[in-house]
Amino acid sequence: MSGEARETSWKGARIVVMGLARSGVAACLFLKRRGALVTGADVRTADQLGSSVAELSRAEIPLSLGAYPNLSDLDALVLSPGVDPAQEVIEEARAKGVLILPELELGARAFKGRLICITGTKGKSTTTMSLHAMLREGGMDARAVGNIGAPITAHVEDSDERSIFVTEASSFQLETTRDFRPDCAIFLNLFPDHLDRHPTFASYAAAKARIFANQTPQDTAIVNAEDQGVVDLAARTPAQVIPFRPKTAPSGATLGPVAYFEGHDAVFRKAGPTPLFGGADVQIPGSAVRANLLAAATAAHDLGVPTTSIRQAVRSFRGVPHTFEKLGEINGVAYFNDSKATTPESVLVALESFDRPVIAILGGRLKAGSFRSLRDAVASHVRSIYAIGESRGLVRAALQDVRPVHESDTLEEAVLLAYREAKPGDAVLLSPGCASFDMFRDYAERGDVFKRAFQSLPLQGAA
């Protein structure tokens, strides 16, 4: 926040932190260090929470497990991203004047450096990590925090005015913000997601739009000019808007700064064109990755990173775990872990990135959308499908007349059968299009199971 953040004094404040996963634990410890009377709360039991309980107990932080305590007699309530703010107990606390903040804003209020915040339905992690790499390559003190897995409250202590936090933010983290103000807001794209938590697409979009709510003319908003939903949400921000165009070059009449591709090369144009990186620098296939790298490079250039550093970071970037992550090749068949693809729309992006036949592994707990939206992409890019999880019947019903669909009881079985079917030049892609909770703890565990299954394949072949 441009070095001007004014931290709230929490000394003596009565605070409950709801949700004791990584960000909740970090928030509890952060508040304890600042003299708050903090209690950690979770509807899960100590056995279910595991190491979180031990860490908080060592810090002598009181816990309320299995049920939430009385939330009405508090100064503040801090929410972890997994906690739905629409719960009745939270609404009651809000009605009684309790300050409600997400862990994201709790940390941002204490941070003295520059804050970059990245949101969008898909591509956040790739953009966050590639921008972090560009800034580090340029010699800056950059930290990747937020939804990427590193809570912001865990990193405030060793930061100063020179630090830059590259913050990935989901709708869950943004929806309850009050004064949160990023120096640079990056909005990548917008389509339906998380409608199992947000009651409507409009409420989901409104949560995302909180990224712009407190920006000033001294701030920057980098927005996807080819996504009308993003453009509409950004229309009210007073920040300087820098559009990026992943697919089409701007017309000659376009005024102001803009980033785009000229052929395969990324360019930033203000008074004149400045090259950002070349098409040959990009190591990961697909238009979606190119779009994310363009957004990251636009922000890096705006922050003063030299083009040479941007290009070197792009050349070295190999992707983010569980996000179109290439695991390797066996017998001429490439294996890709895209476990973080939890909607059919994100599967569509993955499939359209390939110029080789794909054996796709789909399925899980369907959050929104329909597999029927994949029919054209399946017809063009897919050899066959292995369906897993609760939605495997939906996969079959939607796609079996387009390409063969085989149902598998486990992910490991699907990988083995795909391996036996695949031909040299094919790709085996885990891109479920669904949440993971029917079979796994989260998308990361699902991706790790896929990796282990991949690693066992040479042994299977030898057998």
Residue 4 belongs to a domain? no
- From 264, 294, 316, the end of a domain falls on 316
63 close to 38: Cβ distance less than 8 angstroms: no
Cα torsion for 396, 402, 403, 406, to the nearest 10°?
10
CATH of the domain at 371: 3.90.190.20
- pLDDT confidence bin for 10, thresholds 50/70/90: very high
CATH of the domain at 172: 3.40.1190.10
Judgement on whether residues 307 and 340 belong to the same structural domain of the protein? no
* Strand pairing class (76-79; 14-18): parallel
Residue 55 belongs to a domain? yes
pLDDT digits (tens, 9 = 90+) for 79-115: 998 899 989 999 999 999 999 999 999 999 999 999 9
Residue 86 belongs to a domain? yes
428 close to 418: Cβ distance less than 8 angstroms: yes
pLDDT attached to residue 271: 81
Judgement on whether residues 409 and 428 belong to the same structural domain of the protein? yes
Q: Is the pLDDT of residue 463 over 50?
A: no
Number of separate domains in the chain: 3
CATH of the domain at 55: 3.40.50.720
**Mean local confidence (pLDDT), 25-50:** 94
pLDDT digits (tens, 9 = 90+) for 346-403: 899 899 989 899 999 999 999 888 999 999 999 999 999 999 999 999 999 999 999 9
Q: Is the pLDDT of residue 326 over 90?
A: no
337 close to 166: Cβ distance less than 8 angstroms: no
Residue 311: give the domain boundaries: 111-316
129 close to 186: Cβ distance less than 8 angstroms: no
17 close to 41: Cβ distance less than 8 angstroms: yes
Judgement on whether residues 234 and 344 belong to the same structural domain of the protein? no
Task: Give the three-state DSSP class for 206.
Answer: helix
**Mean local confidence (pLDDT), 33-47:** 94
Those residues with Cβ within 8 angstroms of residue 77's Cβ, 6 or more apart along the chain or in another chain: 15, 16, 18, 71, 90, 93, 98, 99, 100, 101
Go through the chain and tell me how many residues it has. Answer: 463
Residue 356 belongs to a domain? yes
Residue 3 belongs to a domain? no
Judgement on whether residues 65 and 146 belong to the same structural domain of the protein? no
- pLDDT confidence bin for 25, thresholds 50/70/90: very high
Judgement on whether residues 381 and 268 belong to the same structural domain of the protein? no
Residue 444 belongs to a domain? yes
pLDDT attached to residue 440: 93
pLDDT digits (tens, 9 = 90+) for 424-448: 999 999 999 999 989 998 899 999 9
- From 254, 288, 316, the end of a domain falls on 316
- pLDDT confidence bin for 147, thresholds 50/70/90: confident
Judgement on whether residues 147 and 294 belong to the same structural domain of the protein? yes
- From 105, 133, 149, the end of a domain falls on 105
How many CB atoms sit inside 10 A of residue 3's CB? 13
